[in-house]
Amino acid sequence: MATRGGRTGRAVTAVRTPKQRGGAAAEDAGLRHLTERGLALLARNARYPEGELDLIMLERDVLVFVEVRMRSGSAFGGAAASIDRFKQKRLQRAAQHWLLQHHGDRWPACRFDVVTVQGDGTIEWIRDAFAA
């Protein structure tokens, strides 16, 4: 487990909830799924004030920002339906930060993909899931 200094200078143990552990397992499964299909990992869990980019990958010459979603069932539309327009905007703004940080004003071709991991282990890769 990771530790970090708190305000009082004491070490704080990072305790992960079952939901966080499940999310990390879904990201691992999604990463494995994409790398098996030829994508290369550039970054993982890039955090910005607007939100977090789960996976940043490269497919040939296209930069791919990947949102990984896990759901135990299809109630409420499943994992893909949980990425509403507000979440999309937050991901787009976080991606802009990453692009500025790593590419300045010369951005490569990009797209936003979604990888859904269902409770039964089924993985679905949705390419170009939403437009920037």
What's the pLDDT tens digit per position in 3-43?
Answer: 333 344 444 456 778 777 777 888 999 999 999 999 999 99
The answer to whether residue 73 scores a pLDDT higher than 70 is no
Give the number of domains in the chain.
Answer: 1
CATH number at residue 91: 3.40.1350.10
State the first-to-last Cα distance of the chain, in angstroms, to the nearest integer.
Answer: 36
Instruction: For residue 115, give its domain range.
Output: 17-130
Q: Looking at 11-15, 45-49, 60-64, which range is the least confident one?
A: 11-15
Name the pTM for this structure: 0.82
Dihedral of alpha carbons 96, 111, 50, 3, sign: negative
What's the pLDDT tens digit per position in 90-115?
Answer: 999 999 999 999 999 889 999 999 99
